[in-house]
């Protein structure tokens, strides 16, 4: 439940932001205008590929619309899987193998700490890697699926499949069907519906603070969540290397590397 004071505060902040922008015709760049403590608030964090960039996992937008030198149409659509399953399989097996070689960075660790200090905390990620979990976060909502798991195409059941034989070039069969069938990556491809959307909208509509980290604002519905949070009165914060297309939708913007900014911001927020 919102406290009246908190709502008043949010309204004042938004009005102040509006006039500040008008007056100075300025984006709120690197200005931590609001000294807020997040400890007692309902906090929702949404992360994108940028949060894993400093771990050595390439982003998508950083490569001129290519993901690890592949066009998304070739490797990240249901049509691609039908057209050339071996190409798609090889692409995701390479991403799955990469998980065994990368480590969480200070941004993942800072978010693990933030979660441990805030009773009402939700972490939504567009990322398919497992670096949040390994950085200390739990109950992560992977809206675009996960690399660690594979999905049976017949039953839709998922299995954690990360043994050496699961990570080879060969297709992997499920354990759930009488006649084991080929599994697909447990990834939400372009044109498919992201996971947990009902819960995600519920959490975003009811949060006090909505923080987006390392996301280009190009991929919907994730990119639209800041609009939802804002409409429902949340204070919205962005931490991103550069200004994404939806930057002006945020109340507060911090530009720079997440691994450098987040440990400091989390300390401030928890003060």
Interaction mask 226-265, ligand NAD, x per CB under 6 A = --------------xxx-x------------xxx------
Interaction mask 59-88, ligand NAD, x per CB under 6 A = xxxx----x---------------------
CB of 243 within 8 A of CB of 255?
yes
Q: How far apart are CA 112 and CA 93, in angstroms?
A: 27
Interaction mask 19-48, ligand NAD, x per CB under 6 A = -----------------------------x
Choose the stretch contacting ligand NAD; rule: CB under 6 A; options: 37-45, 109-117, 122-130, 204-212. 122-130
Of 229, 183, 176, 224, give the one whose Cα is nearest residue 202.
229
54 binding ligand NAD? (CB under 6 A): yes
| Phi, psi (rounded to 5 degrees) for 115 | -60, -40
218 binding ligand NAD? (CB under 6 A): yes
Residues 6 or more apart whose CB falls under 8 angstroms from that of 114 comprise 38, 43, 45, 121, 266, 269, 270
Please give the residue whose beta carbon sits closest to ligand NAD in the complex. 50
CB of 215 to ligand NAD, least distance (A): 4
User: For residue 194, what are the CA distances in angstroms to 51, 197, 198?
Assistant: 19, 7, 10
Q: How far apart are CA 216 and CA 101, in angstroms?
A: 25
The sign one gets for the Cα dihedral 255, 122, 149, 87 is negative
52 binding ligand NAD? (CB under 6 A): yes
Residues in contact with ligand NAD by the rule CB under 6 A: 48-50, 52-54, 57, 59-62, 67, 126-129, 144, 214-216, 218-219, 240-242, 244, 257-259
């Amino acid at each position: 439940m919102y406290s009246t004071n908190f709502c008043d505060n949010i309204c004042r902040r938004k009005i102040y932001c509006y006039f500040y922008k008008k007056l100075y015709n300025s984006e709120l760049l690197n200005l931590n205008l609001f000294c807020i403590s997040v400890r007692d608030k309902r906090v929702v964090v949404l992360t994108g590929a940028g949060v894993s960039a400093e771990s050595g996992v390439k982003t998508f937008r950083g490569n001129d619309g290519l993901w690890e030198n592949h066009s998304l149409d070739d490797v990240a659509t249901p049509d691609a899987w039908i057209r050339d399953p071996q190409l798609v399989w090889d692409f995701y097996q390479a991403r799955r193998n990469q998980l065994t070689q990368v480590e969480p960075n200070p941004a993942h660790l800072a978010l693990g700490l933030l979660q441990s200090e805030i009773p009402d905390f939700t972490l939504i990620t567009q990322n398919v890697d497992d670096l949040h979990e390994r950085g200390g976060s739990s109950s992560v909502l992977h809206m675009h699926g996960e690399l660690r798991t594979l999905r049976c195409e017949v039953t839709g059941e998922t299995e954690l499949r990360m043994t050496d034989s699961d990570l080879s070039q060969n297709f992997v069969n499920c354990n759930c069907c009488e006649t084991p069938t080929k599994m697909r990556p447990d990834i939400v491809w372009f044109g498919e519906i992201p996971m947990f959307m009902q819960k995600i909208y519920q959490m975003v509509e009811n949060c006090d603070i909505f923080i987006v980290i390392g996301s280009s604002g190009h991929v919907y519905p994730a990119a639209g969540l800041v609009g939802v949070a804002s409409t429902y009165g949340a204070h919205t914060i962005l931490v991103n290397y550069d200004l994404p297309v939806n930057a002006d939708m945020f109340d507060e913007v911090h530009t720079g590397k997440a691994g450098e900014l987040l440990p400091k911001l989390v300390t401030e927020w928890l003060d």
